[in-house]
Structure 1
Amino acid sequence: MTDALGWRRKFGVLAPSTNTIVEPDFYAMAVPGVTSHFSRIHLRDQDPSADAGPDNLPAQLRAEIGSACERVLSCEPDYMVMGMSTETLRGGVEGDRELVAQIKQFTGLDVATGAEACERALKVYGARRIGVITPYQPAGDADVVRFFGEIGFEVAAIEGLGCPTAVSTAHVTEDELRAAILTVNTPDVDAVVQCGTNLSMIRLADEAERWLGKPVIAVNAATWWMALRDNDIKDKVYGAGALLREY
């Protein structure tokens, strides 16, 4: 029997328990016949600072991700989506690939991650030098620079907002993000990339592409695009950037 609402695909989505943005973003970009089913990775301590220890969040993720996969598998999804970009960028390319392998081991399903989605998007656009906006502390920004460097892109400018907690990332305003976009949009930048799935930027990215005349890739839009296109779903989505509208 075919699911009444998810008759094309059911996506199982893993998201941190602290995240309030990625779920409504995915719902806002929904297309007919595709449904998203969220499972929360329990983060008991959301302090991302060095004072909490460099392995604080990764250790919690590793301990909880199997249980989150197990819960969402009970709805029999067709495909998995990682609704957390921090861990897909940590440890460079190898870190992302290891996380994908871990999720595949638990679920037996293919996975979209923010890191790989941004890589694919930048290749579609032929970009080489990028400006990046993140909510991260300096250690997280270093992970971002390492990841993009390893896949062949130069981070010409980066603006880390240094959000004090995972929840506070969702409190960043459009005015703050607009200022960050203008800061990293140096003349030699081919595209702007926003990391951090708990930053609300899909609508602003769509607008910013018209101001700047270049791609502005919001990670939630890129991840959703990857998930749809991997499943041969070619619907156009409007209001979330050119990637979902044109590619």
Structure 2
Amino acid sequence: MKTYRIGQIVPSSNITMETEIPALLRARESIAPERFTFHSSRMRMKHVTKEELAAMDADSDRCALELSDAKVDVLGYACLVAIMSMGHGYHCVSADRLHGVTRDNGASAPVVTSAGALIQGIKAIGAKRVAVVAPYMKPLTEMVVDYIRNEGIEVATWRALEIQDNLAVAAHDPMKLPGIVREMDTSDVDAIVLSACVQMPSLPAVPMAEAVTGKPVLTAAIATTWQMLNALKLDTRVPGGGTLLSGAY
């Protein structure tokens, strides 16, 4: 029975990724032999503004270095909007640079970004048109929508919840999300991104949102978990993880 070390680079005010990713991988432990431990390094960020996000991203190299000291098996950059605010395609630039940090420290580890994972997850399930729910203010949400569209995915409809304080994002009741989606026109989309943010909790609402809409539902945390499992070359079936974590992708 192998144990894998899961490393996460986390915004200092993020309290969700260290609950949702472990919850998903603990659920996987109920059906598979592999075990996981969880390790984080934090970069300062309290308010979700472009300026704070840019300053925070500059700190990610230090976090990758610290986590590689622990010889983690995979490293996740757990802030979608920080990556997307740095310009089109930046998830590739960030992942390559942070992987280089681990390699130069003699502890080479694959790097997954939540931004890149969401893009890849949408494409993996074959979705061409999506609906997106995000907690950000409208300008940042528009930037996220533009980033997704630049990757060749059509965002047919989106909703910004306009919560600026990052701890308030974490406090948003996930069970409100199916109702928010019900108010959106999702008739012509292929999939729904229930939370385009790794700080907005969503896991308990995923099965309900899939039932309400009849569409595949994924989130940034689900996509990050999926890409971590792929990077580790492990089976991607996770109970309660929605369509993307059905094991088929």
Asked if these proteins are the same fold (TM beyond 0.5), I'd say: yes
- SS of the equivalent of 1:238 reads coil
Out of 56, 61, 81, the residue aligned to residue 57 of structure 2 is: 61
Residues 4 and 36 in structure 2, CA contact (< 8 A), matched pair in contact too:
yes
**Gaps spanning 5+ residues in structure 1: where?**
none
Q: 1:64-108, CA deviations, whole angstroms, 9 ceiling, x for partnerless residues?
A: 222222222221112211111112322444222222123123222
Alpha-carbon separation, structure 2, partners of 1:71 and 1:88: 20
Task: Note the aligned Cα RMSD (angstroms).
Answer: 1.9
Of the structure 1 ranges 17-26 and 31-40, higher mean CA displacement relative to structure 2 is found in 31-40
Identify the residue that residue 41 of structure 1 maps to in structure 2. 43
Is the alpha carbon distance of 1:121 and 1:217 closer, same or farther for their aligned partners in structure 2, counting shifts above 3 Å? same
- SS of the equivalent of 2:162 reads coil
Identify the residue that residue 151 of structure 2 maps to in structure 1. 151
Identify the residue that residue 160 of structure 1 maps to in structure 2. 160
| Percent identity of equivalent pairs | 24
Is the alpha carbon distance of 1:191 and 1:9 closer, same or farther for their aligned partners in structure 2, counting shifts above 3 Å? same
Residues 92 and 143 in structure 1, CA contact (< 8 A), matched pair in contact too:
no
Residues 22 and 198 in structure 1, CA contact (< 8 A), matched pair in contact too:
yes
Residues 11 and 35 in structure 1, CA contact (< 8 A), matched pair in contact too:
yes
**Gaps spanning 5+ residues in structure 2: where?**
104-108
Alpha-carbon separation, structure 1, partners of 2:206 and 2:54: 28
Alpha-carbon separation, structure 2, partners of 1:221 and 1:71: 25
Residues 138 and 162 in structure 1, CA contact (< 8 A), matched pair in contact too:
yes
Does 1:96 find its partner at 2:79? no
Identify the residue that residue 133 of structure 1 maps to in structure 2. 133
Taking structure 2 as the reference length, what is the TM-score of the superposition? Answer: 0.87
Is the alpha carbon distance of 1:206 and 1:89 closer, same or farther for their aligned partners in structure 2, counting shifts above 3 Å? farther
Residues 117 and 223 in structure 2, CA contact (< 8 A), matched pair in contact too:
yes
Alpha-carbon separation, structure 2, partners of 1:185 and 1:116: 26
Identify the residue that residue 221 of structure 2 maps to in structure 1. 220
Figure out how many residues of one structure are paired with residues of the other and give that number. Answer: 235
Residues 174 and 204 in structure 2, CA contact (< 8 A), matched pair in contact too:
no
Residues 178 and 212 in structure 2, CA contact (< 8 A), matched pair in contact too:
no
- SS of the equivalent of 2:71 reads coil
- SS of the equivalent of 2:7 reads strand
Alpha-carbon separation, structure 1, partners of 2:183 and 2:153: 19
